[in-house]
Structure 1
Amino acid sequence: MAFQLTVDDLPDLVRGAALLGTGGGGDPQIGRVLVAHALGERSITILSPEDLDDDALVIPTAMMGAPSVLLERLPRGTEPVDALRRLEAQIGRPASATMPIESGGINSTIPLLVAAQTGLPVVDADGMGRAFPELQMETFAIYGIDGSPLAIADERGYTAVVDTGADNRRMEAYARAVTVRMGGVGYIAEYAMSGADVKRTAIPGTLSLALRLGRTLREAREGHRDPIDALAEMLPDTLYRHGSRLFTGKVVDVDRRTEGGFTRGVARLAAFESDSSCEVEFQNEFLVARVDGQVRTVVPDLITALHLETGEPITAESLRYGQRVCVFAIATPEIMRTAAALEAFGPQAFGLAEEFVPVEHISAPLGGGA
């Protein structure tokens, strides 16, 4: 069902999007400020996939690059629309709507910025149900949509088109190279598809879910409840079905570097009252969490770092020594766990040796995992 999104909804939406983003997707507050400035007192129409005509043209829009670079090179604000217009010109047809490619950070807000500047509606769906670092890691690609042609724009007003036909992996490689030449961050329009294809390949309801997640955390704080408990209680009533605490402790070290257009590294945490420890590896997003050397959650299931007292999600580039953190795991929707999906964005796609085991099937950790 369609609904209107206003500037008052943005704080809850970006909080929930950061949670679903598993540490990646870029700083959500940058996106919130951009959208609020462009939107003013107006509203954005959010459409359910079922609201789309089958022959509608939907063009997703997003930021591409290393989230840590985004903190140093703030966007001008016109880049996503520049990319959209370049792709429309390439296709020879205007978009009927835009849509996120992923749930997470700034990339849940980039389509909202496009909508605020163009009047286009935004589809309440995406191609990841979380955030992933590479463009071929989309349900769109897994279920038969070509990402090409892709248009990319930078803050200087330059644009480029990448067209690799049906080879989405090569599209990622070429677009990543252009992003690096643009200084580490670019803004893209890609995976142009019909309304019928959106209904077939996208994960529905992720923007409205982000709004609900963010509201749940805020209202729990305002009601003097533990926001992390409130989150765990809410998730069974969603496509994600399950969420649980993995580890509670203090960040004692973060090894982080920008490499090949990604932010890579590992965060280490120590329990407050035991010798238990936790390590979380990331490539833009959190990929695997190990407690005392044992895997407790692995991609594509979601790993998020939450501020222990407030429940606010902490992105991978914002993790710092001394933060008091709850590492929280969330089961991914079933469309993300098929054999084809795991081939595209399961552990082996990231060079991890671990096999995927659903988080709800892994026993609860000891020590700091309470």
Structure 2
Amino acid sequence: MSWLLTEDDLPDLARGAALLGTGGGGDPYVGRLLVRQAIREHGPITVLDPGDLADDTLVIPTAQMGAPTVVHEKLPRGTEPVAALRALERHLGRPAGATMPIECGGINSMIPLVVAAVTGLPVVDADGMGRAFPELQMETFGVYGVPGSPMAVAGERGESTIIDTGADNRRMEWLARGVTVRLGGVAHIAEYAMTGAEVKRTAVPRTLSLALAIGRAIRQARQAGADPVAALAGALSGTLYAHLRVLFRGKVSDVERRTEAGFARGRATAVSFDGRHELELAFQNEHLVALVDGEVRCVVPDLVCVLESELAEPITTENLRYGQRVTVVGISTPALMRTPEALEVFGPAAFGLPHPFTPVEECNPVTVSRP
């Protein structure tokens, strides 16, 4: 069933999107401000359930591309994502009937909402990652046969370009990353144009609704003086993300972070409050793996999420700091993201990690609550 998204929904949606972004996807606060302004100018946004899409509707996903660290210093103008959509529409010779996120995490849950508000298009309640990933070929769309190109890339000064690599989504990513670097490290894109039938076949469904629900659950638990992590687990139970495990509780002891080739890469460590255990995180925009005392507790494509200990507010990789008190949780991904063909595109080996994929619920048969 379709529903209207209003300004009042944005804080909960941004919180849930930041969590599903697994530390990446860009700062949802910046996106939230852009959407708030767009709603104030143009009114509420229609969120369309994928089941309500006509099979022949043209859906064009829109997003921001680049290193999350850059957005802290280079804020979007706000016109770029609509410019990318229009450029791709002109190239295809056909208007879009809807837009959609390519990922449900961070700012990229917000960018399609800006496009929807400004253009009057509905936004589909689905995405192509079920979380956030750093590279454009890492989409369930591509895994299950939808080419990413032709795609449009737009910059803040009105420039735009079309990249068409046919079915080669990896080369599309490589070329688009180079353009993005030359646009100052951040750009806005429209890609993976597809029909409504293809959305139903390839997308992770109802992830905007999920982000809103988990953001609301965390807030309501805080207000009631309840455990927000337990509330988060309850909100996920019965969804496609059914398993949550508490992996670690402690204090951040070190962060090494660098921006290179259009990505924020690095590692972070934390020490348990009793000083007996150590957590190590590796990230490329998003957290890729969590090791506790050298043992894998959660690895991509499952979600590694770092939360502020008291309020369970998600902490992005660019905002990790020495001394933060954190709770780290692992969350299972939907089944269509754990198939052999999906793991080939965005499993551990795709990031050069030496660890095989093991589901978080198997790494942690019961919830691990580290001291």
TM-score, normalised relative to structure 2:
0.98
State the match for 1:289 in structure 2: 290
- Ranges in structure 1 where 5+ consecutive residues have no aligned partner: none
Is residue 272–residue 368 contact of structure 1 (8 Å, CA) maintained in 2?
no
Q: Match for 1:24: what amino acid?
A: G
Relative distance call for 1:364 and 1:269 in structure 2 (3 A) is farther
Q: Which amino acid aligns with 1:274?
A: G
Contact preservation (8 Å) 1:100, 1:126: yes
The letter for the 2-side match of 1:307 is E
Quick one: structure 1 residues 365 and 249, their matched pair in 2 at CA, closer, same or farther if it must change by over 3 Å?
Answer: farther
Q: CA deviation at 1:230?
A: 1.1
The residue type equivalent to 2:353 in the other structure is L
Taking only aligned residues, the RMSD between alpha carbons, in angstroms, comes to: 1.2
2:26 maps to 26
Partner of 1:231: 232
User: What is the CA-CA distance between 1:367 and the residue it aligns to?
Assistant: 9.1
2:94 and 2:50 mapped to 1: Cα distance?
Answer: 20
Per-residue deviation, 1:229: 1.4
Q: 2:148 is paired with a residue of what secondary structure?
A: coil
Q: Secondary structure at the match of 2:215?
A: helix
**Aligned partners of 1:156 and 1:270: how far apart in 2?**
45
Q: What amino acid sits opposite 1:14 in the alignment? A: A
Contact kept in structure 1, 2:245 and 2:366, CA below 8 Å = no
3-state SS, counterpart of residue 237 of structure 2:
helix
For residues 283 and 289 of structure 1, what CA distance do their matches in structure 2 show? Answer: 13
Q: In the alignment, does 2:223 pair up with 1:218? A: no
Distance 1:155 1:361 in 2: 45
Counting aligned pairs with the same residue, the percent is: 65
Q: Residue 209 of structure 1 corresponds to which residue in structure 2?
A: 210
> What is the rounded CA distance, in whole Å, between the counterparts of 1:316 and 1:338 in structure 2?
27
**Distance in 1 separating the partners of 2:368 and 2:80:** 47
The answer (yes or no) to whether the contact 2:245–2:368 under 8 Å persists in 1 is no
Looking at structure 1, the residues matched to 87 and 304 of structure 2 have their Cα atoms a distance apart, in angstroms, of 35
Q: Would you say 1:87 and 2:88 are equivalent positions?
A: yes
- Residues 249, 368 of structure 1: 8 Å contact kept: no
> What are the within-5 Å matches in structure 2 for residues 337-348 of structure 1?
337-348=338-349
Q: Once the 2 structures are TM-superposed, how far is the Cα of residue 103 of structure 1 from its aligned partner? A: 1.1
- Tell me the residue number matched to 2:9: 9
Task: State the match for 1:133 in structure 2.
Answer: 134
Q: What is the alpha-carbon distance in structure 2 between the residues aligned to residue 200 and residue 365 of structure 1?
A: 33
1:120 is the counterpart of 2:148:
no
Residue type matched to 1:121 in 2? Answer: P
From the superposition, tell whether residues 93 and 366 of structure 1 become closer, same or farther in structure 2 (CA, over 3 Å). Answer: closer
Aligned ranges 1:50-65 → 2 under 5 Å = 50-65=51-66
1:232 is displaced (CA, Å) by 1.6
| Residue deviations 1:249-306 (CA, integer Å, cap 9, x gap) | 0011100000110000001101111320101100000000000011100000000000
1:275–1:367 contact (8 Å) kept in structure 2? no
Is the Cα–Cα contact under 8 Å of residues 276 and 368 in structure 1 kept in the other structure? no
Question: What is the aligned length?
Answer: 370
Letter paired with 1:8: D
Q: Tell me the residue number matched to 1:152.
A: 153
Other-structure match for 2:317: 316
Query: TM-score scaled by structure 1?
Result: 0.98
**Structure 1 position 366, deviation (Å):** 11
Assess, with a 3 A threshold, how the Cα gap between structure 1 residues 328 and 367 changes in structure 2: closer, same or farther.
closer
Match of 2:278 in 1: 277
- Look up the equivalent residue of 1:83 and give its one-letter code: A
Mapping 1:96-115, distance limit 5 Å: 96-115=97-116
Contact 2:245/2:367 (8 A) holds in 1: no
Whole-angstrom distance in 2 between the partners of 1:234 and 1:368 = 19
**Matched-pair contact (CA < 8 Å) for 1:251–1:320:** yes
Report SS of the residue matched to 2:132: coil
The Cα of 1:344 is off from its aligned counterpart by 0.4
Q: Could you tell me which amino acid in structure 1 is paired with residue 34 of structure 2?
A: L
Matched residues in 1 for 2:306 and 2:367: separation? 18
Provide the rounded CA distance (Å) in 1 between the counterparts of 2:370 and 2:235. 20
User: What is the aligned partner in structure 2 of residue 78 from structure 1?
Assistant: 79
Query: Which residue number in structure 2 is paired with residue 361 of structure 1?
Result: 362
Partners of 2:140 and 2:284 lie apart in 1 by: 19
- Spell out structure 1 runs of 4+ moving beyond 4 A: 364-368
User: What SS does the aligned partner of 1:175 have?
Assistant: helix
Query: For 1:185 and 1:191, how far apart are their aligned partners in 2?
Result: 19
| Contact 2:246–2:367 under 8 Å retained in 1 | no
8 Å contact from structure 1 (residues 246, 365) kept in 2: no
Partner of 1:49: 50
Instruction: Show the counterpart of 2:351.
Output: 350
Give the letter for the 2:247 counterpart.
L
Please list, as runs of the form range in 1=range in 2, the aligned pairs for 1:163-312 lying within 5 A after superposition. 163-312=164-313
Residues 43-68 of structure 1: CA deviation (Å, up to 9, x unaligned): 10000111111000000000000000
Aligned to 2:37: 37
Conserved in 2, the CA contact under 8 Å of 1:274 and 1:368?
no
Q: Secondary structure at the match of 1:40?
A: helix
1:365 positional shift: 9.3
